[in-house]
Amino acid sequence: MEAVRFYTQPVDGQVIVRLPAALANIEQLEVIVLPANEPKVHERRKPNPLLMNSLQLSDDLIAPAAPESDWDAH
């Protein structure tokens, strides 16, 4: 997939996009318009508080899943 990214100034509320040759014959395109001057804020995700302390591990996570004898190649 080829994407075109550029910065421009709207003129009378319009923006004209000149497509590269690879996109010129495509029947349908998706156009997304975002303001360039707004800072992108990435908020740190937090787990649902209802899940806190709801998980209990009963297995040894470091121990092998199969006995070592199962790995012998004959």
Euclidean distance between CA atoms 23 and 1, whole angstroms: 10
Mean pLDDT of 29-55: 84
Mean pLDDT of 17-41: 83
Euclidean distance between CA atoms 17 and 12, whole angstroms: 15
pTM above 0.75, yes or no: no
What percent of the chain is predicted at pLDDT more than 90? 7
Mean pLDDT of the chain: 84
- For 50-74, how does the pLDDT look when each residue is reduced to its tens digit (9 = 90+)? 988 888 888 888 888 888 888 877 6
Does 12 score more than 90 pLDDT? yes
